[in-house]
Structure 1
Amino acid sequence: MTGTVLTTRRVDAYHALTVVAPGIAERFRPGHFVSVSVGGPGTSMVTRRALAVHDVKPDYGGTVEFVVAVRGPGTAWLADRRARDTLDLVGPLGRPFPLPRDPVNCVLVGGEYGSATLFALADALQRRHCRVDFVLGAAAADRVFGALRARRVGETTTLTTEDGSLGLRGRVADVLPGVVTDVHADVIYACGPMAMLREVTAVGIDFDIPVQVAVEEAMACGIGVCMTCVLPVIGDDGVTRMVRACADGPVFRGERVRFEDVGTIPFDALGAPGGGGSARHVT
């Protein structure tokens, strides 16, 4: 659909755009993302940009806010949009976060602007009477997104920065075990860089509690066609498959993602060239 930019604002190192997009707002669930065309109708930038949804509101028929980190010409173009500009949007896309049936204690872990996707999740969890605690981190203070909102929403909020400019010095995985213990966490939800998700998943495994991760993989089409966002994930049958983060995710059970093999095709993946997976596929 075509969405009209309602407002833009700078949030530390990031840009937040609120777009009137009632069709997307109506169907949105926490964990969904939006695929946005960049560069305008005459651009040479063919691929879209996948952006996590930060907030959805009923205003103006339905608005969607997403957060942009400038990393290249496409995201720079998005950051330059102003009110009344129009955007070509596809969404909501992907598989959202699963929500618990009963009230449980939830720790929400965000890295950099990955934390943007956690706030709609927090609202949904609290509507189910779940306890919500936040752990947010980044390299420096201006890269931590949503610290003030987390403090308003969560029972507790723990902040970390690698340079010590905000909160505790270190990474989220350094403080997460203490938070899990203190709040008697039943589940961890996380979104952020892949290295962070790997460390957070390891904490969940140590405590024998489930971890739901929204992975950050480069998604060119956002609908499962181009295969640029594949990663190795272990299925319910114990077999590793190369799955599409955009269509089969972006939310996965953390212990099922083979983080150490992301960016490769493991030899034992189903259909892997010359590997054990290929042999299983033939038989």
Structure 2
Amino acid sequence: MATINKSALQQVVTIVSNKRIGAYHQILLNVGDIVKSCRPGNFVAIRVGGDTSKMILRRAFAISRVADNSQYGGTMELIVAPHGSGSKWLCSQQEGAEIDIIAPLGTAFGIPTEPINALLIGGGYGSAPLFGLADVLKGRGCKVDMLLGASVGTKIYAPMEGKRSVNSLKIYTEDGSMGETGRVTENLLEIVRDRNIDVIYSCGPMAMLSAITALVADTEVIHQCAVEESMACGVGICMTCVLPVQNDDGTTSMLRSCIDGPVMDGANVRWDLVGKVPEALA
């Protein structure tokens, strides 16, 4: 594996619990010492479907948070939306079931060495890795505010937990069924200014990440985003998750989200070329 995944291990782990929370499943895995290498922003690649399944490729899931407790030892929490065949299979697994994982994978969010003002922005279940990140940032003495958005209220994951995890929480839904009506980008610049935000950490739909990057382009705010690209292998082999990223010399390279990401500097992503092949590389 690449250097970025040097701590990754393949291991068969046990499902400790599987709870339905709103539109999502909160799945807790007993992963042992793997937790010592996990950082906010890392993901896990899971073999899905069972031994007789035709789903030969693993599925990538963001790690929500990890913990080390006396009852279960090292545990990993995943927030999963049962959309595709792989995620539906995972959500159907019962307590005590064993699954094959590779973790931790990918780049992590950069954690400041000194206290800063951080704004965490999550879209739908994309908010999953932000809860663990909030814990780490607050442990560093940072002031942490959070914005959560979704199309409807049922797709806002654990709003009460979010409120407990940060200094302040604002919720936006497009249909107005929870919080304020609109999107997380509605008053973003005003929030950034009023709260003296230094760094934005975001995770969610690519359109949301692109919009945030555009809004803060003329500010000094750093935008670290966890991109949402389909990762068929999760370890840099298949090249299905490539993303156009601008180099220091102005050229564009197609980088693998699973190796060079999922956490990237939003200012470096060529959002206008996402889903396309740059002419220079065609």
**TM-score, structure 1 length as denominator?**
0.93
**How big is the shift at 1:91?**
0.5
Give the secondary-structure state (helix, strand or coil) at the position aligned to 1:90.
strand
Distance 2:135 2:250 in 1: 34
Partner of 2:55: 45
Q: Spell out the pairing of 1:5-20 with structure 2 (5 A cutoff).
A: 5-20=15-30
CA separation in 2, counterparts of 1:261 and 1:61?
A: 44
User: Relative contact order, CA 8 A, sep 6+: which one is greater?
Assistant: 2
TM alignment of 1:212-251, pairs within 5 A: 212-251=224-263
**Superposition deviation, residue 42 in structure 1:** 1.1
Residue 206 of structure 1: how far off its partner (Å) = 3.4
Matched with 2:214 is 202
User: Number of residue pairs matched?
Assistant: 270
What percent identity do the matched residue pairs reach? 45
- Partner residue, 2:121: 109
Q: Give 1:64 deviation, angstroms.
A: 0.3
Structure 2, unaligned runs of 5 or more = 1-10
Rounded to whole Å, the distance in 2 between the matches of 1:131 and 1:239 is 36
Note if contact 2:198-2:220 (Cα within 8 Å) is conserved in structure 1.
Answer: no
1:4 lines up with 2:22 in the alignment: no
Range moving further from structure 2, 243-252 or 53-62: 53-62
C-alpha distance in structure 2 between counterparts of 1:57 and 1:3, whole Å: 15
Q: Comparing 172-181 with 81-90, which one deviates more in the overlay?
A: 172-181
Q: Secondary structure at the match of 1:190?
A: strand
Aligned AA (1:211) = H
Match of 1:158 in 2: 170
Unaligned 5+ runs, structure 1: 274-283
TM-score scaled to structure 2, two decimals? 0.93
Matched, 1:211 2:228: no
Alignment of 1:21-36 (within 5 A): 21-36=31-46
| Deviation of 1:156 (Å) | 1.0
Counterpart Cα distance in 2 of 1:20 and 1:120? 17
Q: Residue 219 of structure 1: SS of its match in structure 2? A: coil
What amino acid is aligned across from residue 241 of structure 2 in structure 1? C
User: Which whole-Å CA distance do the structure 2 matches of 1:225 and 1:183 have between them?
Assistant: 42
3-state SS of the aligned residue for 1:159? strand
